[in-house]
């Protein structure tokens, strides 16, 4: 029986740090196990220019705990006003990717793209300079059922984008359906996908049965069990076209538990442990390192990390809540209940993903 697992240091290829004081929580939680992370640009206002992206990167770096080595990879938020020149400037400044949100698809996406084909000159510029296109792949038309929006996006837009820009590297973000799995598998090596812990661990029963569970609500929404099983099967297969992207997305408890709860699961506190749980349950723990540490940097054309992390077989309980820190807090965190008491109780709380649940792997 395996009691310890050491893997090359992993990266998170899709997450939401948010901004402001929230960075004092989200950045240390992520940097505890990940060396790099792709930071989503759907802030208020969205990160639409190179200058804004570089300023956001600095704010993230300012929140990294002293002595911790961590690299945020910031991205541009594509709008109908994005120009080819902006793409070239961003690439020259070291920005590796831009994000396509259909307008209204998720949190803070109202400023996003209306009429995707209007962005074809931008996609052409990205293809030319070697910038990756990250896609939230859902349509947002009101007449399309929310559970069908990912498939509809594939059929309506994504096939054309892939065919029209064969040299553009595309990451189909946080996929949720067998349709998406099949599309990525049948596409060229320039198409890959990220998969979240919540979509591997849960299906829509976990959102709706026994009452609505707001802390399991995310976008894209959880799908039926058959789609969940397709995601689990493809990560267990070891396919290099699928890699780790948590979509960790914090919201304060009172914003999740209300009449119009926010979408997002905050998994940073237990992300690598959650994935380890999935891979062990699938009898594929030997595939975790590729998924978490190899396939993402390989697809992005970046070097794999040089260090390692170790996970031990140890039962522990995900905290039931996390108090948001103030700017004066320190960030020497441990994943146990004592950490809750060390934080400023006057601040709002976040309920982390899998709160109160017992996991069997713990980061050393």
Write out the binding residues. 14, 16-18, 42, 99, 136, 174, 219, 247, 251, 263
Question: CA-to-CA distance for 135 and 99, rounded, in angstroms?
Answer: 6
β-partners of residue 313 are 361
Would you say 162 and 187 are in contact if contact means Cβ atoms under 8 Å apart? yes
Packing angle, helices 84-92 and 50-62, rounded to 10: 40
Of 11, 12, 179, 247, the active-site residue reads: 247
Binding-site residue positions for substrate: 16-18, 42, 136, 219, 251, 263
Q: According to DSSP H, which parts of the chain are helical?
A: 23-31, 50-62, 84-92, 120-129, 149-153, 159-164, 178-186, 197-201, 205-208, 225-237, 253-256, 271-281, 288-289, 295-300, 338-341
b/e 175-212 (16+ beta carbons within 10 angstroms → b): bbbbbbbebbeebeebbbbbbbbbbbbbbbeebeeeee
Dihedral of alpha carbons 345, 351, 352, 358, sign: positive
- Annotation says 247 is catalytic: yes
Name the residue among 9, 52, 4, 55 with its Cα closest to residue 31: 9
Show which residues are catalytic: 247
């Amino acid at each position: 029986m395996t009691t310890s697992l050491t893997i090359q240091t992993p990266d998170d290829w899709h997450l939401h740090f948010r901004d402001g004081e929230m960075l004092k929580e989200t950045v240390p939680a992520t940097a505890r196990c990940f060396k790099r992370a792709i930071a989503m640009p759907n802030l208020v206002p969205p990160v639409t220019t190179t200058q804004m992206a570089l300023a956001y990167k600095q704010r993230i770096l300012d929140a990294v705990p002293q002595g911790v080595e961590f690299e945020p990879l910031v991205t541009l938020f594509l709008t109908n006003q994005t120009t080819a020149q902006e793409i070239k400037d961003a690439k020259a400044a070291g920005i590796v990717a831009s994000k396509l949100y259909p307008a209204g698809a998720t949190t803070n996406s109202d400023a996003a793209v209306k009429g995707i084909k209007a962005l074809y000159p931008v996609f052409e510029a990205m293809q030319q300079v070697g910038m990756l296109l990250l896609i939230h792949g859902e349509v947002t038309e009101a007449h399309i059922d929310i559970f069908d929006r990912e498939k509809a996006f594939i059929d309506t837009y994504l096939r054309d984008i892939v065919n029209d820009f064969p040299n553009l590297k595309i990451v189909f973000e946080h996929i949720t359906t067998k349709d998406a799995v099949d599309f990525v598998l049948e596409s060229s090596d320039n198409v890959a996908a990220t998969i979240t812990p919540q979509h591997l661990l849960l299906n829509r029963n976990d959102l709706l049965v026994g009452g609505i569970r707001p802390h399991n609500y995310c976008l894209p929404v959880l799908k039926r069990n058959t789609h969940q099983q397709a995601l689990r099967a493809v990560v267990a297969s070891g396919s290099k076209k699928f890699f780790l992207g948590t979509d960790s997305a914090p919201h304060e408890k009172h914003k999740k538990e209300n009449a119009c709860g926010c979408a997002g699961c905050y998994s940073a506190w237990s992300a690598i442990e959650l994935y380890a749980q999935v891979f062990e349950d699938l009898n594929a723990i030997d595939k975790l390192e590729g998924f978490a540490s190899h396939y993402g940097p390989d697809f992005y054309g970046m070097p794999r990390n040089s260090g390692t992390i170790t996970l031990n077989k140890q039962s522990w309980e995900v905290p039931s809540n996390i108090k948001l820190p103030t700017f004066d807090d320190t960030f020497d965190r441990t994943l146990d209940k004592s950490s809750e008491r060390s934080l400023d109780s006057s601040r709002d709380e976040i309920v982390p993903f899998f709160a109160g649940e017992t996991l069997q792997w713990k980061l050393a």
